[in-house]
Amino acid sequence: MSRNSLQGIRVAILATDGFEQSELTEPRKALDAAGANTEIVSPKSGKIRGWNHKEWGAEVEVDRLLDAVNASDYDALVLPGGVMNPDSLRMEPKAVAFVKSFFDAGKPVGAICHGPWTVIESGAAKGHRMTSWPSLKTDIRNAGGNWVDQEVVVDDNLVTSRKPDDIPAFNRELINLFSQAVRR
């Protein structure tokens, strides 16, 4: 993928404390390397702390507060996993509304691991073929989605993956899907 394939695209990465570290940092690096302008959006100001497999990981600086942004400020959205992060976000009405607004506008969204919990909460899983961490299989099906066990799934404007091992495939498809949005 060309270094400038995402030149001019603005990507929100919605996260809070407890995001799976690699599921935020690795997609962000790949998107930035492809020319995107990524911003960490969070309901919490300052820094948020990652979860690195089985213990607390590194902190990342929040670029924009959730209260100060709209989906119209961005071209695409990434939802990292980790159990704590999406579980907290799906209980935050503004986060759920933010995610829903991307789907309503037909903008591309990427979600990995437990990230689809927020997609489910927004009502956007219905009718989508998607994957996730296996424990979300029933949640996705109950929300009207079609869960499959694959490293990456692209369905319309949604790309999903299961876990950190799937990040290379997730990143490849994120860049591909987001670059299509730039060409429109």
58, amino acid identity: A
Instruction: Exactly one of 113, 158, 159, 177 is catalytic; name it.
Output: 113
Contact partners, residue 110, CB within 8 Å, separation at least 6: 27, 76, 77, 78, 79, 158, 159, 160, 170, 173, 174, 177, 178
Give the H or E element holding residue 22. Answer: helix 21-33
Bridge partners of 154, per DSSP, are: 159
Is residue 39 annotated as a catalytic residue, yes or no? no
Contact 12, 74 (CB under 8 A): yes
CA dihedral over 87, 153, 66, 35, signed as positive or negative: positive
Instruction: Exactly one of 49, 114, 128, 162 is catalytic; name it.
Output: 114
Cα separation of 96 and 75, whole Å? 17
Is residue 114 annotated as a catalytic residue, yes or no? yes
Give me the active site residues, please. Answer: 113-114
